[in-house]
Amino acid sequence: MYTTKCNKFKGEIETYLSKEKNIFESRMDRVFRMLNIKTKLNQASIRKKDGYHASHLLFIMSLLPLLKIPSIHGFCRKQWYHWCVARKDAFYRFQRNPSRWRSFMYMIILKISEKLRFERCPLKERYFVIDDSPIPKRGRNIENVSFIYDHSVGRTFLGYCIVSLGLFTGENFYPLDFAYRFGKKRHPKSPGEKIGDPRSISGRMSHEAKHQGKVQLALQMVQRAFDRGIRAGYVLFDSWYAWPSLINAIRRINEDLHVICRLKDSKILYEYKRKKYRLSALYQKVKASMRKDSRTGLYLKRVTVVLSGSSDPVVIVFAKGYQEPDDEQIKGKK
């Protein structure tokens, strides 16, 4: 067991890049040094027992988007040994290592918060953003791969669903946390589910992916962000997450934390003037009193209701005349 020695944590690309004076590399270098990436990796126990340093491999992987290379396979296929002589197996072992990436991300965001002084931004201008993204996969033999329904295009695909939490400060967006989940329906030729020991890092992630839904994962991420000392005034998410249970649970985390979301017409009832209505019925009741807003040009109506499971007043804003921007046509979208 040994560790390949590098004069600097960047390794073999140091000489080449210093001669070429690559602008983007020098900026990445300053960012890595400013954020103490090598130290944070060690603190999060993300280290390699042999081969190349974890910080060296992470630096190369951070450069790939700037080089417009979509994957490690694409980088290694080019055989750019003047950048890095590490082969694909070194990167793949590093990616497969069940490391504490969640802790590492929070260490980095707290360091960025300290450098950029997030506290100068008013609390009401800081937002947690919850969203989920489909990750399609082609191979049916990938561990725990399953069929996932993508509501944005209205079809099912083979892959995973990634639930993520970010922080928007009014000027920039920062990723905070993530979790993945898979469905119950699998390809007939796929191997069985592999759920590890919940006491281990990889086992806990796979246990969450199987037994917890997206709403539970989102709530846990908001709670972890607060436990780490990251604050925001609002939580933003789309209509899929607009469940009273999630909204009330977020409000219980902190009284200064509010929710802004788009509602969906479902069986959820809203109490208005001591009567309960579904969203569509409530709209029919108040649409005659909608007035045109001079700033937006939309017909608006603000209604104060009581949400199920809570005594706090909730404001619903009905809008008429709004049309979603349609700049990009998604193939197969309904």
pLDDT tens string 210-252: 778 889 999 999 999 999 999 999 999 999 899 999 999 999 9
CB 182 within 8 A of CB 145: yes
Single out the residue of 213, 196, 212, 194 nearest to residue 204, CA to CA: 196
CA 105 vs. chain centroid, Å, equals 11
Give the number of other CB atoms < 10 A from CB of residue 164. 18
Where are the strands (E) in the chain, listed by range? 127-136, 146-150, 155-168, 173-181, 234-237, 258-261, 270-272, 275-277, 291-292, 299-307, 313-320
Rg over CA atoms, the chain: 24
CB half-sphere exposure, 129, CA atoms < 13 A: 14
Cβ neighbours of residue 306 under 8 Å, at least 6 residues apart? Answer: 270, 271, 272, 312, 313, 314
Give the number of other CB atoms < 10 A from CB of residue 83. 19
Secondary structure (DSSP) of 5-52: --SSTTTTHHHHHHHHT-HHHHHHHHHHHHTTHHHHHHHTT---SSBS
Q: For 207-215, which contacts have Cβ atoms below 8 Å and span 24 or more sequence positions?
A: 208/179, 208/181, 209/144, 209/160, 209/179, 209/180, 209/181, 209/182, 210/144, 210/181, 210/182, 212/181, 213/181, 214/132, 214/161, 214/163, 214/181, 214/240, 214/241, 215/241, 215/243, 215/245, 215/246
Q: Is 261 helix (H, G, I), strand (E, B) or coil?
A: strand
Give the integer Cα–Cα distance in Å for 293 and 22. 51
Cβ neighbours of residue 199 under 8 Å, at least 6 residues apart? Answer: none
Render each residue's pLDDT in the chain as its tens digit; 334 residues: 445 555 444 444 555 545 554 566 677 778 888 888 888 888 888 877 677 788 888 888 887 777 777 777 777 776 665 567 677 777 777 777 666 888 888 999 999 888 888 888 888 899 999 998 888 888 777 777 888 888 777 788 888 888 999 999 988 899 999 888 887 787 777 777 777 666 666 667 776 777 788 899 999 999 999 999 999 999 999 998 999 999 999 999 988 899 999 998 889 999 999 899 999 999 999 999 999 988 888 999 999 999 888 888 899 999 988 777 665 666 655 4
Give the integer Cα–Cα distance in Å for 30 and 303. 51
Residue 58: the pLDDT is 84
Residue 194: the pLDDT is 72
Please name the amino acid found at residue 310. S
CB 286 within 8 A of CB 318: yes
CA distances from 270 to 45, 276, 283, 314 (A): 48, 5, 11, 9
